[in-house]
Amino acid sequence: MAKIDVKNEKKVKKVVDDSIRAEVSDKVGEKSFKQKIRHLLRTRKRKVFVAIIFLLLIATILLAVPTTRYGIVGYFVKKDVSIIVKDKATHKPVSQAVITIGTKTAVTTSKGEAKVRGVPVGEYTVRVSKKYYKDDSQTYTVPIIGDVKSFDLQLTATGRQVGVSVTNKVTGSPLAKAIVKVGETSTSTDEKGLATIVLPADKQALSGTVELTGYNKVDIQVKVSDQTDVNKFNITPSGSLYYLSKATGKINVMKSNLDGSDARAVVTATGNENDRETVLLAARDWQFLALSAKKTTNKGGELYLVDAKTDQLKTIDEGNASFQLVGWSGHKFIYIVNRNTTNYWDQKKQTMKSYDADTGKITVLDEQTSIGTNGYDYEVEYIGSPYIQDNKIVYSKSWSRGNTYTVSDKKAAIMTINTDGSSKQRVKEFAVQRSLGIDARLYEPREIYFKVSADNATSSYYEYEDGGLRSITYTDDKFYNSEYSTYLISPNGEKTFWSDPRNGKNTLFIGNKDGKNEKTIVNESEYAAYGWYSDDYILLSRNGSELYIASSSKSLGTQPLKITNYHKPSVSFIGYGSGYGGI
């Protein structure tokens, strides 16, 4: 028997007495103080005694009941149980098997693993089932104390085990976690793109499907065979490409999957379209496309938006004018309007605009300024040489004067402006006598060479980079006869893709956003750079009429996947790399 510490007992009694005294003094007068104390002591002791007896009873029950019966504790203590299911004959993991523990269920992964969460402690019969396998079960205890140990279950196949493999149709790479479904059974592939599915042995072939997030679902025919290389399936990354096609004799805007399947016209030709004016330029994320096409007979120029979310056609701009397409900056499309009904010395004959595809808002970025009344007495300003640099447009404004001009204070300039119309800047101005022209070439992704020619004076050259302009030594021969690659910028803006002509062929490169640290994709091939589809895939063209797709992360060791034949516009957008479809 345990010894009682009398000293401590007295201290506890004193604390209780003091507490009771304080409580009683608030409710009753001092007159009945002793009587109330006796009453409360009797009441408190009785309640404390009952509570102690109750707790001892619960503890006794819990300790007395065997560990195979947890009863009440299961309401409060729950744990996760990990299970691995394997084929009894091959010892390979069995995916898509259903595990049942009490009222809880889980499905095994491609590794045969499943975690049943929130299982109350106690003893269970763990059951596992899958089509064309014998059901199996095993007793298992989820303990109160200690870790829950994972365990294996083995299933015996009742049908034939059939091997399947799934790969990316574009890259040929194996795909993990692809779900192969045949009838009422299914399996999922491992990291090598492999899986085993058990099917009835009395069938030669069965229909099924392959599904994986981020890829198009595909229908398949699975041969019921024990040969390991007869059931190879490939699936195409999800997404849609848009292109021009003249297969019917008229120019339609087409849409297809990335492998060219499910091709259909989303903008049907009217017959008024022509090769010169029909151009389709996609934004870098392929959510919007700008279409320049003459679709009616009573309008001079027509510029449309194709919304890839809805495939709907919306008018951007139209009128008795011609449209010079500059390109996409994000979801803003930049273009120049040249009005046909005005004289070249009239005001605002030429206007540069920005169209926001998300909001439908048009912003006037800059307009032509002119002075004069006829073909002899005039001063005309021209907007030219526009290049998109991120969300900024770098362009020039030059002047020409008639025979009877008078020298004024007008100045030509190299300009920059944001695509929303803000922060217009005259980076450098040039005095004009009779005429001054400014030409430009995109040398590298973020570098532009400018040639400035004034009357009969010697030309001067400049390099624009990172918002700054500096004078450089250059020649007309280099300026006009050098090869200037079109650096196609990836959707995330971190990589560039371009072609470099060599020995009558094209060598293809992928580099960083500045066109540096390049790696060769293929040497001296018939392919040319066309664009990107997401940051994972590059688009290539061949013979100016064939469109292909390949991985952006590895060299072009095998022939890329052909998507379709397409109609190339007569107008090329050399140097424009902020969208796709113009080269």
pLDDT at 46: 60
Half-sphere exposure of residue 99: CA atoms within 13 angstroms, side-chain side: 30
Q: Please say if the pLDDT value at position 445 is more than 50.
A: yes
Secondary structure of 317-386 in HEC code, one letter for each residue: EEECEEEEEEEEECCEEEEEEEECCCCCCCCCCEEEEEEECCCCCEEEEEECCEEECCCCCEEEEEEEEE
Nearest to 169 by CA among 563, 582, 572, 524: 563
Mean of the pLDDT values across residues 430-445? 88
Report the share of the chain in percent with pLDDT over 90.
60
With 50 as the cut, is the pLDDT of residue 99 above it? yes
Supply the pLDDT for residue 21.
47
Q: Which of 498, 542, 494 is nearest to 519 (CA)?
A: 498
- State pTM to two decimals: 0.79
Tens digits of residue pLDDT in 137-149 = 989 888 888 788 8
Per-residue pLDDT at 23: 43
Structural contact between residues 562 and 546, judged by C-beta atoms closer than 8 angstroms: yes
Better-predicted residue by pLDDT, 57 or 519: 519
pLDDT at 279 > cutoff 70: yes
pLDDT per residue over 165-192, tens digit each? 999 999 999 999 999 999 989 999 999 9
pLDDT the model gives residue 67: 44
- The pLDDT, as a whole number, for residue 58 is 55
3 state DSSP class of 18: helix
DSSP string covering 224-243: --S-TTS-EEEEPBS-EEEE
- Residue 574, pLDDT score: 87
How many CB atoms within 10 Å of residue 309? 7
pLDDT tier, 18 (very low <50, low <70, confident <90, very high otherwise): low
Q: Which amino acid is at 567?
A: H
Q: Which of 67-71, 125-129, 464-468 has the lowest mean pLDDT?
A: 67-71
Question: Which tens digit of pLDDT belongs to each residue from 296-320?
Answer: 877 778 999 999 999 999 999 999 8
Please tell me the least confidently modeled range out of 108-122, 396-410, 491-505, 545-559: 396-410
Greater model confidence, 463 or 8 = 463
| Tokens found for residue 423 | 């922060």
Considering 3-17, 65-79, 307-321, 451-465, the range whose residues carry the highest mean pLDDT is 307-321
Q: What is the mean pLDDT of residues 480-504?
A: 94
Average pLDDT over residues 276-305: 91
Work out the pLDDT band at 70, boundaries 50, 70, 90. low
Residue tagged 């064939």 (tokens): 546
At 32, is the pLDDT very low, low, confident or very high (cuts 50, 70, 90)? low
User: Which pLDDT value is given to residue 57?
Assistant: 57
Which two three-digit tokens encode residue 91? 């010892």
Residue-averaged pLDDT of the chain: 86
Query: Can you say how many angstroms the Cα of residue 315 is from the centroid of all Cα atoms in its chain?
Result: 27
**Position 8 confidence tier, pLDDT thresholds 50, 70, 90:** very low
pLDDT score of 270:
93
Query: Looking at per-residue confidence, does 72 or 308 come out higher?
Result: 308
Confidence of residue 71 (pLDDT cuts 50, 70, 90): low
Residue 39 pLDDT > 80: no
